[in-house]
Amino acid sequence: MTLDANQLEEILVGNVRSYLADHKSSDELEAKRLQELCSTLNWFFYVLVRDHEKWNRFDSVDGVVALSVEVRSDNELALDGYIFVFGRNRSSGFMMEPFSASLQIGETSGRLRAYRIMCGDAKRPFATVPFSVSRSPRWKMIPEQWLLTLES
């Protein structure tokens, strides 16, 4: 079953709400909530970006990894990390791209009040940094200019 953007958004709002409610509880529960959030965010991002002019239809995303999460209020969080991209050159394996998201939920609605999702470094071609290189201390996680910005 394929979910559309509205269905994924409802699930994402539930994930954000759960993370915000549990982020100060046990490390195990917080990690579980973050994993759920990143998984849904991965699919939500893909549904939004797959028709974007800068997106290559042969690329697919395979996971958001959060390196930091900032709880900004009772209904907003920001996440910085990276996203795995399985690129058009299948023999080269997974590539990494910087990823950042700010998600704000309504108090009762199943919709996001606002979101801003950014991915990729505008100064280089997309999906060209192998996972092994991305772990290098020289690899800059947050680019000066984002390649893709999606917002509501």
Query: Which comes out higher in pLDDT, residue 128 or 6?
Result: 6
pLDDT value of residue 91:
60
Average pLDDT over residues 100-116: 93
**Residue 77 C-alpha from the chain's centroid:** 12
When pLDDT is cut at 50, 70 and 90, the band that residue 76 belongs to is very high
pLDDT at 100 over 90: yes
- Residue 62 has a CB neighbour count (10 Å cut-off) of 12
Average pLDDT over residues 62-85: 93
Q: What is the CA radius of gyration of the chain?
A: 15
The rounded distance, in Å, linking the Cα atoms of 92 and 74 is 42
The rounded distance, in Å, linking the Cα atoms of 29 and 133 is 31
Mean pLDDT of the chain: 87
Q: Could you tell me the residue range of the domain that residue 75 belongs to?
A: 5-151
pLDDT at 138 over 60: no
The rounded distance, in Å, linking the Cα atoms of 145 and 139 is 15
Average pLDDT over residues 40-48: 95
Q: Which one-letter amino acid corresponds to residue 27? A: D
When pLDDT is cut at 50, 70 and 90, the band that residue 51 belongs to is confident
Domain count for the chain: 1
pLDDT value of residue 25:
85
